[in-house]
């Protein structure tokens, strides 16, 4: 078990390195550099060239890459051209916001998806199953931002149960209960909009997996032992059906990232997604690099996490 | 010794296919006595497994008519809860494919323990584990303490079948149904598993229904044999009688198709078992596979005739049945 986790961790490093190289090369391929457009056009081109030399912009790409990675490892993503502040400081608060948004969205997703999938799979081809399938089709076909806007309009604007934007009400002291409650309240709507869409695939995966598993021989063995239907489902079928859901988990995290980009924009939630769009629009490439790198790393870690979960659930996967 | 343990009377188990119910088990009547092995033979699709599943109440979407008396109590329409009290406790089943009959995510020990958890809720954890290890020893698994915490994929087919047998006999059931227990195993393991089943039957004195399509297995193991064809029992007799004086054309064809050595060509029964939907529901169901027998030789509604004590044959066509001279065809 531990051996498996260590081995899996070791594989993660080359993935991360490859990711960083790719992102760096993409950034290099983009036209312009830190000085383009920032410098007064009346300045002598030779002086600019001098500056380039001083800043190390004329070095070959691999030397620049090593400079960059060396900084990243120490938590230094460079300066934001637009905000004139370290990228790390810029990201710091937003990454916390996005992290909690993603975690809440994930929790909502599974709270909704697992029971629906179980009902759908156990009572397949009944009216109950069909109505759940109907919901998943609608969810599958509807773009995320429509759901988000509808939720925003109904619960934020019409009923005013939830705030329509931001991550916390202004004027609250961090650390107090009100502050935490306010944060949670700000999280619920955006997280729910992501979850409602994310749920869809999980429900369908779980359903088809349960329909599959319940026809397997070991289910008959369990029944022949005298296990009640609920025990058969909870002990034998469910666990075997959760395997693909666990395998899907890493992909789910990648989906979350794209989800947060939309949702943060709609709910003007100060997170990574919003920062990403802003910095792309403003050509703030050191920020774009950092955000893309972190998104990529999150996807890789998500895959790692799902493999570890999978190995805990399924003994056949553990490498001895 | 000859107390009736299980009595199946006019059992009809039907499945819904597209447009209606079709009987896979049609009017089956048989008894199993205590401490007796009843063999059930027949081709694939003759309803052997459907019969076994009916007795265990394992069909989820079937219509069952008739009676199944287990220890004098009719269990055809018994409640799910009552059925669960009996399954794994008073009657148990050994399955065909050991590779798929165990839960891949549960330790061997936990899978056997489950039968105790379900039927002996007062048993302490410690005693439960001791009993499981004892069972593993009983079914001939080496290093039972080690196997206890292994997973099914770490065991061979033969070992897994032993585990399944251990699950079945855990609560010393009065009735043990073995549904082709050796079909998925290789020949050397087959013999071991059969020996084991016979041994265990002696120890726990249960009645056994042994389902197989291997006549050799039946000859060796069974006390009485029922031959099934197309959902019906066509012949039932004491094992010696059946092999010495088989009467029904189907039984005789089956025996005739067994390799005995010294023959150039094996006998082949014409055609195949018709699918459930296309079974002839009237007349002798075997008739279309022995087309040289005239219609007048068959009964219109074949019933079981008792030709000698304990020996029953369905349909009158057995009286003048003979194998077709098929040399002409082959030449």
Tell me the per-residue pLDDT of B311-329, one tens digit each, with 9 for 90 and over: 998 888 887 787 765 544 4
User: B308 pairs with which residues across the strands?
Assistant: B311
Q: Which of A217, A235, A315 sits opposite B101 (nearest CB)?
A: A217
Among chain B residues, CA nearest to A225: B88
Longest dimension (CA), chain B: 72
Q: What is the per-residue pLDDT for B166?
A: 92
Tokens of A309: 């979960």
pLDDT in tens, B215-226: 888 998 999 999
Answer whether B105 sits within 8 Å of A222, measured CB to CB: no
Tokens of B300: 């219109």
Mean pLDDT of chain B: 87
For chain B, where are the alpha helices, taking DSSP H only? 48-56, 80-86, 108-119, 125-138, 144-148, 157-169, 187-204, 215-221, 239-244, 249-256, 327-330
CA A254 to chain B, closest CA, distance in angstroms equals: 28
Among chain A residues, CA nearest to B88: A225
- Which of B113, B114, B154, B160 is the best residue to mutate to test the A interface, defined by the most A CB atoms within 10 Å of its own CB? B114
- Which of B85, B88, B183 is the best residue to mutate to test the A interface, defined by the most A CB atoms within 10 Å of its own CB? B88
What pTM does this model have?
A: 0.81
Q: Which domains does chain A have, with CATH numbers?
A: 91-313 (1.10.3720.10)
Q: What is the per-residue pLDDT for B331?
A: 36
Q: Name the E strands within B18-90.
A: 20-33, 37-41, 62-70, 73-74
Question: Tokens 């955000």 appear where?
Answer: A291
Name the nearest CA neighbour of B43 among B266, B314, B205, B231: B231
The Cα A106–Cα A104 span in angstroms is 5
CA A263 to chain centre: 12
pLDDT in tens, B281-303: 777 888 878 877 777 778 877 88
B contacts of A217 (beta carbons < 8 Å): 95, 97, 100-101
Three-state SS at A318:
coil
The Cα B298–Cα B318 span in angstroms is 9
Number of CB atoms found within 10 A of residue A308's CB: 18
Q: What is the per-residue pLDDT for B273?
A: 80
- pLDDT-wise least confident of A178-187, B88-97, B295-304: B295-304
**Is-contact B93 B168, C-beta < 8 A?**
yes
B contacts of A312 (beta carbons < 8 Å): none
Among chain A residues, CA nearest to B169: A225
- pLDDT-wise least confident of A154-168, A246-260, B183-197: A246-260
CA A161 to chain B, closest CA, distance in angstroms equals: 45
pLDDT in tens, B14-35: 988 888 888 888 889 999 998 8
A55: phi then psi, degrees, rounded to nearest 5: -80, -5
pLDDT in tens, B251-276: 888 888 887 777 777 788 878 888 88
At B330, the pLDDT band (50, 70, 90 cuts) reads: very low
The domain over range B1-90+171-331 is classified in CATH as 1.10.3720.10: no
Three-state SS at A266:
helix
- Dihedral sign, Cα of residue B158, residue B163, residue B169, residue B175: negative
Answer whether A225 sits within 8 Å of B114, measured CB to CB: yes
CA B169 to chain A, closest CA, distance in angstroms equals: 10
């Amino acid at each position: 078990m531990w051996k498996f986790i260590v081995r899996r961790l070791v594989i993660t490093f080359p993935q991360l390195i490859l990711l960083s190289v790719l992102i760096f090369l993409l950034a290099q391929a983009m036209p312009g550099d830190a000085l383009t457009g920032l410098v007064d056009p009346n300045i002598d081109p030779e002086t600019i060239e001098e500056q380039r030399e001083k800043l190390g912009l004329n070095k070959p790409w691999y030397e620049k890459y090593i400079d960059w990675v060396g900084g990243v490892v120490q938590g230094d993503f460079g300066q934001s051209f637009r905000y004139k502040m370290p990228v790390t400081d810029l990201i710091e608060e937003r990454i916390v916001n996005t992290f909690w948004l993603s975690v809440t969205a994930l929790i909502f997703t599974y709270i909704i998806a697992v029971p629906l999938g179980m009902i759908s799979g156990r009572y397949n081809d009944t009216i109950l199953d069909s109505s759940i399938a109907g919901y998943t089709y609608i969810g599958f076909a509807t773009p995320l931002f429509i759901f988000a806007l509808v939720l925003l309009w109904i619960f934020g604007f019409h009923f005013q149960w939830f705030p329509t934007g931001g991550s916390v009400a202004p004027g609250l002291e961090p650390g107090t209960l009100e502050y935490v409650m306010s944060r949670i309240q700000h999280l619920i709507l955006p997280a729910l909009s992501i979850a409602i869409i994310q749920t869809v695939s999980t429900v369908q995966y779980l359903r088809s997996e349960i329909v599959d598993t319940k026809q397997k021989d070991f289910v008959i063995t369990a029944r022949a032992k005298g296990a009640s239907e609920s025990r058969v489902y909870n002990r034998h079928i469910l666990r075997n059906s959760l395997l693909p859901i666990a395998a899907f988990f890493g992909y789910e995290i990648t989906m979350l990232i794209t989800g947060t980009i939309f949702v943060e924009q709609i709910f003007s939630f100060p997170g990574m997604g919003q920062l990403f769009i802003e910095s792309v629009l403003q050509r703030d490439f050191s920020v774009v690099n950092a955000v893309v790198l972190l998104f990529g790393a999150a996807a890789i870690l998500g895959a790692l996490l799902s493999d570890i979960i999978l190995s805990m659930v399924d003994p056949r996967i553990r490498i001895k | 010794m000859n107390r009736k343990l299980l009595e199946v009377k006019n059992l009809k188990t039907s499945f819904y296919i597209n447009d209606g119910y079709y009987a896979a088990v049609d009017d089956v009547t048989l008894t199993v006595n205590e401490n007796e092995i009843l063999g059930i033979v027949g081709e694939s699709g003759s309803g052997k497994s459907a019969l076994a599943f009916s007795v265990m109440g394992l069909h989820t979407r079937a219509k069952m008519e008739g009676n199944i008396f287990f220890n004098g109590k009719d269990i055809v329409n018994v409640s799910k809860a009552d059925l669960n009290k009996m399954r794994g406790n008073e009657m148990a089943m050994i399955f065909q494919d050991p590779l798929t009959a165990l839960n891949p995510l549960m330790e061997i020990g936990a899978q056997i323990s489950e039968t105790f958890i379900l039927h002996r809720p007062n048993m302490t954890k410690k005693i439960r584990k001791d009993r499981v290890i004892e069972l593993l020893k009983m079914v001939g698994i080496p290093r039972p303490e080690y196997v206890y915490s292994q997973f099914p994929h770490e065991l061979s087919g033969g070992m897994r079948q032993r585990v399944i047998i251990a699950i079945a006999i855990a609560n010393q059931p009065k009735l043990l149904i073995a549904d082709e227990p050796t079909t998925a195993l290789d020949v050397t393991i087959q013999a071991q598993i059969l020996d084991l089943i016979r041994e265990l039957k002696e120890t726990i004195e249960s009645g056994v229904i042994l389902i197989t399509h291997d006549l050799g297995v039946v000859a060796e193991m069974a006390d009485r044999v029922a031959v099934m064809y197309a959902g019906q029992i066509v012949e039932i007799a004491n094992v010696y009688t059946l092999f010495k004086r088989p009467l029904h054309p189907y039984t005789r064809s089956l025996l005739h198709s067994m390799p005995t050595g010294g023959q150039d060509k094996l006998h082949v029964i014409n055609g195949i078992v018709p699918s459930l939907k296309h079974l002839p529901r009237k007349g002798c169901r075997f008739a279309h596979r022995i087309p040289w027998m005239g219609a007048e030789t068959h009964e219109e509604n074949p019933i079981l005739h008792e030709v000698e004590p304990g020996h029953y044959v369905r349909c009158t066509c057995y009286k003048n049945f003979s194998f077709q001279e098929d040399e002409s065809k082959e030449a």
